[in-house]
Amino acid sequence: MDKKKVLIVDDQNGIRVLLVEVFSNEGYNTFQASNGKLALEIVRKESPDLVLLDMKIPGMDGLDILKHIKQIDTSIKVIMMTAYGELDMIKEATDLGALTHFTKPFDIDDLRLAVNKELRSGSPRLAIGS
Q: Which domains does the chain carry?
A: 5-121 (3.40.50.2300)
> What's the pTM?
0.91
CA dihedral sign of residues 14, 64, 93, 77: negative
Order of strands across the sheet that contains 100-103: 29-33, 5-9, 50-54, 77-82, 100-103
pLDDT, tens only, 96-110: 999 999 998 899 999
Say which range, 27-31, 91-95, 125-129, has the weakest mean pLDDT. 125-129
Bridge partners of residue 9, in order along the sequence: 33, 53
